[in-house]
Structure 1
Amino acid sequence: MKLLHMSDSHIGGTVTAGTGRGRGHNRYQDFVAVLAEVVGIAQEVQPDLILHTGDLFDRQVPSPEDFALGVRSMVELSAIAPTVVIRGNHDSPLLFQILDDMAAFNTRDGVPALRFVAQARPSADGGILDYPARGGQRIRLAALPFVHRNRAVEGFDRPESAPLAFADYLRGIQADLAAGLRDGYDPAADVLIFAAHMYVESALPDYSERRLDITSDYASATAALPAVAYAALGHIHKPQAINRPGLTARYAGSLLQMDFGEITDGQPEQKGVVIIDANPDRPSKINVRPLREGRKLMTFSGDLDTLARQAPLIGDAFVKAYIDVPESSPGLAATVAELIPDATLVEVEPRLPGWDEERELPELDHAAAPEPDLPDLFAEYLANTKTIPEQAVLLGETFTELLTHSRPDADLVTDPVETLLRTAIASPDPAPTAL
């Protein structure tokens, strides 16, 4: 059985000087190029199944252009092999459910050619997907889209109990899916696969991910991963293996660099897709296929002469340039642009002599005024944004009222699917822990 594992395409993402999202340099043609490269690899490999483990889009409401590119690319892949797209934290559950409903009409041998998995489901209610594979084998896939921690910590009064609650919640979901994989399991013919968009505790983030979703407090335990032939993971942008004895698990990583943090020793982080060769009677083999398409993100540090010599190596990359200059240079950005005309300048920072010298920090005045309250900070923010005074007063009063009277997640609604899942997890029947 051959499997192609890709992840975190983040279609619609832009390049900014910092690590945050927002307006920046458009990358649409880079997404077009790298997705076409993935399709080409799939045509060459001819896998039995293609998995995209989340964050197909960079935002929950993609632009029409980005939406069309994402759907078109997945349709092209599904013409090569059945394709399953797991929802990530950047993807919209509603949009994924609509896409899945529409794609359900296109079947091959009674199996949908393209699936968009919008919600976590109990193993007895659609959480396990079966696909035929070469040589009479069967792929049994347990799919776990991103689960927001609010679904697990709702109703807890003590904040310190939230991380433990979330970890137990995820562990229960994975135990239920593991039991579902074993239901009717044929060790001579079945290949078990687990696919999830989640943060596993031993993973090394690039920190171009959303910081709130990769804190250690909310990481899933490595030991909780089901015992399968391959665990396909998404959410962490740095390609890497997860080390656990007896388990082959890997983050495929993002298709493109998502920000300037994904650079090692001045060189762009190598991205790729994972090809898995798995059979019931032997350990899985992993082959990482590097991706070459799409403009790179690079940083440069040095003087203008060095920049001129390295211009051919920089090419059309997105560049943050730190230029050593003897004195203030008002036209520095224009000079840099002339030296690397094919590149896209994201930031140019002059570095005057002594910029790296250590300086003594001023002593803190412990008698200074205390930190202002949140309502005061919000009022200052409204003033800086030049909000109309009458509106600022109303917004400030509303903000203060919400801080005083509201309870976090009080209006959070649990959908019927999650109710079924909670019921399945709470079942008194113990699930086996190993194959």
Structure 2
Amino acid sequence: MRKRLPTGRAIHPRGKAMKLLHTSDWHLGRTTGRESRASDHDAVLAEIVDAARELRPDVICNSGDLFDRSRPGTDDLERAIDVLSELAAIAPTVVVCGNHDKAALFRVFNKLSRVHGLHFIADPTTEPEAVIELPVAAGGTVRVGAVCYQHPHHLVDGRGNPDTWGSEYSAAVRGLDSTVAAAIQAGLNPQTDFAVFAAHAYVGGAGWSGTERRGRHDDIFATDPTGIPGVAYAAYGHIHRPQPLPGAAGTYGHYAGSPLQLDFGEAGQAKSMVYVEAAPGRPPRIETIPLHRGRQLRCFRGTLDDLAATADTFGTDLCQIVVDSDTHIPHVADRVQEILPDAHLVEVANNAADRRAQIVIADPSKGGQDREPSIGEMFATYLATAGSTKAPAASVLDVFHQLADPAVVDEPMPFPQEQYLPEVA
């Protein structure tokens, strides 16, 4: 049963209140294996638009990774603009640049779309209008500021001590966060105005899905959760698993997560967006709105009989299947497709006992007769069976040893022919 959405009525009808809808990490243009996710994106983005029409928020925030690649295809550019335009017709929509996005493209978007209620934030360190003021239907103003994804190469001196890279990065990001937070708070009336902070970053202690781009969000370059600005709501992107922000009490914010299961590390994860209602002087009410549309990802491992027993639960899922068997199963993917006629098979593997590699361990009692052959012995066996070389096999094997033996002990390769080369002054 679909969960009923909260009503669009403010929870504080006698005072000012702000309503915000937070989504993130769409990754338009994504493929899972060779399977395009375009139809899945169309389905779930329509679900997001439907929810926005029902909730009627004052502001909509997408906290980064709008695209999966920095140079998206024309179909995905058109898809992004169409959906964002629909959202902007409901409420002003702010989009933050993520690590998969291209800041230059966002700057072009911003010049074209600002008049239509779309606001793309590419780099708050260079944009004088990084803080955006938007009206609230119940009265007052919401002030949105953002820190886009900050690559460690831009903030850390790679020539310095690696042991301090993490602390340098965290301190630099914290400085940016503080600068933007101060700009949001400047002149803000706590009785009528609301501060919203958006960012695309990995906050230390958050749990990732395992499908995010590694090396950008690991613990070396984690940001300090105590540095999250104290605002009505902090909208974060980058982590695909929906979750509250880690940090001390009084930190109100979430990772909205990706709206689709993007890769098999996210199989089984429930996806959602975040709805926020805030009133001056009170903690915000934060609610996750489940997202159901788009095909699910499914991992399975077992025998063909096990698969057949659960076949009616797969539907049109995108599947990663490992079939266990005693002997190799020819055309195993065809067998699986017969059992799951409607499923989309991204990857099928046969884990056959008779094809598994065996670890060779020498038995001392056999005097080394059962040892693993050396690379030279294996090459000699290959030459004996190949049967088609222009040079005598013994000469080929001799040259092989001349080249391979120095490589093993990391010595210079012997090339006697070099003596015939003329010397260059």
TM class, shorter-length: 0.7 to 0.9
Aligned to 2:28: 11
Distance in 1 (CA, whole Å) between partners of 2:204 and 2:136 is 32
| CA distance in 2 between partners of 1:275 and 1:356 (Å) | 50
Q: Aligned runs of 1:290-301 on 2, under 5 Å?
A: 290-301=290-301
Residues 103-150 of structure 1 deviation map (CA, whole Å, 9 limit, x = unaligned): 1233xxxxxx11111112379x32321111122121111111111111
After superposition, give the CA deviation of every residue in 1:312-358 in whole Å (9 maximum; x if it has no partner).
21111111111122311112110101110111111112233599999
Indicate the residue corresponding to 1:431 in structure 2: none
Taking the TM superposition and a 5 Å limit, the aligned residue runs for 1:393-408 are none
Aligned to 1:94: 104
**Counterpart among 235, 251, 258 of residue 255 in structure 2:** 251
Correspondence for 1:261: 265
Q: Distance in 1 between matches of 2:408 and 2:177?
A: 46
Within 5 Å, which residues of 2 pair with 1:306-325? Answer: 306-325=306-325
User: Match for residue 328 of structure 1?
Assistant: 328
- Structure 1 residue aligned with 2:136, among 113, 133, 137? 133
Indicate whether 1:119 and 2:130 are aligned. Answer: no
- Cα distance between partner residues in 2 of 1:371 and 1:214: 38
Give the match for residue 61 of structure 2: 51
> After superposition, what is the alpha-carbon deviation per residue over 1:239-277, rounded to whole angstroms, capped at 9, x for unaligned?
1112321111110001111211113xxxx2111111011
Match of 2:42 in 1: 32
After superposition, the C-alpha distances for 1:337-384 in whole angstroms (9 at most, x for unaligned) are: 11101111111122335999997989999x9967989xx9xxxxxxxx
Match of 2:270 in 1: 270
Shift of 1:181: 2.0
CA contact (8 A) 2:124 2:148 kept: yes
Structure 2 Cα separation of the partners of residues 354 and 142 of structure 1: 60
User: C-alpha distance in 2, partners of 1:120/1:319?
Assistant: 41
Is there any run of 5+ residues in structure 2 with no aligned partner, and where?
A: 1-17, 363-370, 375-404, 414-425
Deviation digits for residues 152-182 of structure 1, max 9, x if unmatched?
1247433333322211110111111121222
User: 8 Å contact 1:156–1:162 — kept in the other structure?
Assistant: no
Q: Is residue 277–residue 286 contact of structure 1 (8 Å, CA) maintained in 2?
A: yes
CA contact (8 A) 2:303 2:324 kept: yes
Counting only pairs closer than 5 Å after superposition, residues 376-395 of structure 1 correspond to structure 2 as none
> Structure 1: how far apart are the matches of 2:216 and 2:308?
41
Change (3 A) 1:209 1:331: same
Q: 2: CA distance between counterparts of 1:355 and 1:281?
A: 66
> Kindly tell me: are residues 369 and 261 of structure 1, through their superposed partners in 2, closer, same or farther at Cα, counting changes over 3 Å?
farther
Say if 1:368 and 1:82 are closer, same or farther in 2 by CA, change over 3 A: farther
Identity over the aligned pairs, expressed in percent? 37
How many Å apart are 1:289 and its aligned residue?
A: 0.8
- Secondary structure, counterpart of 1:136 in structure 2: coil
Separation in 2, partners of 1:361, 1:233: 52
Distance 1:371 1:139 in 2: 67
- Give the structure 2 partner of residue 2 of structure 1: 19
Alignment of 1:228 with 2:228, yes or no, is no
Opposite residue 238 of structure 1, the aligned amino acid is R
> Across the two proteins, how many residue pairs are aligned to each other?
355
Specify the alignment match of 1:206 in structure 2: 209
Question: Which residue of structure 2 aligns with residue 242 of structure 1?
Answer: 245
Q: Is the 8 A contact 1:7 1:52 kept in 2?
A: yes
**1:104 aligns to what SS in structure 2?**
helix
The partner residue of 1:174 within 171, 177, 181 is 177
1:150 aligns with 2:160: no
| Aligned-partner Cα distance in 2 for 1:320–1:371 | 43
- The alignment partner of 1:90 has SS state of coil
- Supply the distance in 2 between the matched residues of 1:259 and 1:236 (Cα, whole angstroms): 13
Q: CA deviation at 1:281?
A: 2.3
Is the contact made by 1:120 and 1:147 (CA closer than 8 Å) also made in structure 2?
A: no
* 4+ runs deviating over 6 angstroms: 354-365, 367-373
- C-alpha distance 292-358 of structure 1, shift in aligned 2 (>3 A): farther
State whether residues 7 and 54 of structure 1, in contact with CA within 8 Å, keep that contact through their aligned partners in structure 2. yes
Look up the match of 1:286: 286
**Structure 2 CA distance for aligned equivalents of residues 33 and 247 of structure 1:** 33
Q: Which has the larger radius of gyration?
A: 2
Give yes or no for contact 2:21–2:276 (8 Å, CA) kept in 1: yes
- The CA deviation string for residues 384-407 of structure 1, in whole angstroms up to 9 with x for no partner, is xxxxxxxxxxxxxxxxxxxxxxxx
Encode CA deviations 1:193-216: one digit per residue, 9 max, x unaligned. Answer: 110001101111112111021121
Separation of aligned partners in 2, 1:155 and 1:322: 42
Contact 2:297-2:319 at 8 Å conserved across structures: yes
In the alignment, the residues of structure 1 paired with residue 244 and residue 358 of structure 2 have an alpha-carbon distance, to the nearest angstrom, of: 39
Between the two structures, name the one with larger relative contact order (CA 8 Å, sep ≥ 6). Answer: 1
RMSD value, Cα = 2.7
Output aligned runs, 1:102-113, within 5 Å. 102-106=112-116, 113=117
Question: What TM-score comes out, normalization by structure 1 length?
Answer: 0.76
Deviation, 1:301, is 1.6
